[in-house]
Amino acid sequence: MEAVRCTQCGETRWSLLPGSRSHALDAPCELCGGKTVVERRRPGAGPETLDVERRRTAIADRIAGRDAVKSSGLAAR
């Protein structure tokens, strides 16, 4: 199992087929067009449950009244 991850939005693309990773590294992220890098994590290696989906942390912080959007640099301009 191989994967690539976007350095901008964090989207991860997994493949069961060997050799697909080199093709995926050449292509930009399908969601945001960012650069992709080899994903080092493996499925099941993280915590059993997440408090908040990582890509939605800024939204959850905004709802809760915490101002993480400015500090993360991910806010829309």
pLDDT digits (tens, 9 = 90+) for 33-55: 899 999 887 766 766 776 666 66
The proportion of the chain whose per-residue pLDDT surpasses 90, expressed as a percent, equals 9
Q: For residue 33, give Cα distances in angstroms to 16, 22, 62.
A: 23, 17, 25
Q: Is 7 exposed, middle or buried (0-12, 13-18, 19+ CB in 10 A)?
A: exposed
72 has pLDDT over 60:
no
Q: What is the reported pTM?
A: 0.51
Predicted local distance difference test score (pLDDT) of residue 36: 92
- Residue 60 φ then ψ, to 5°: -65, -40
Please, which pLDDT band fits residue 77 given cuts at 50, 70 and 90? very low
Is the domain covering 1-46 a CATH 3.30.70 domain?
no
Domain ranges of the chain: 1-46, 48-77
**Rg over CA atoms, the chain:** 15
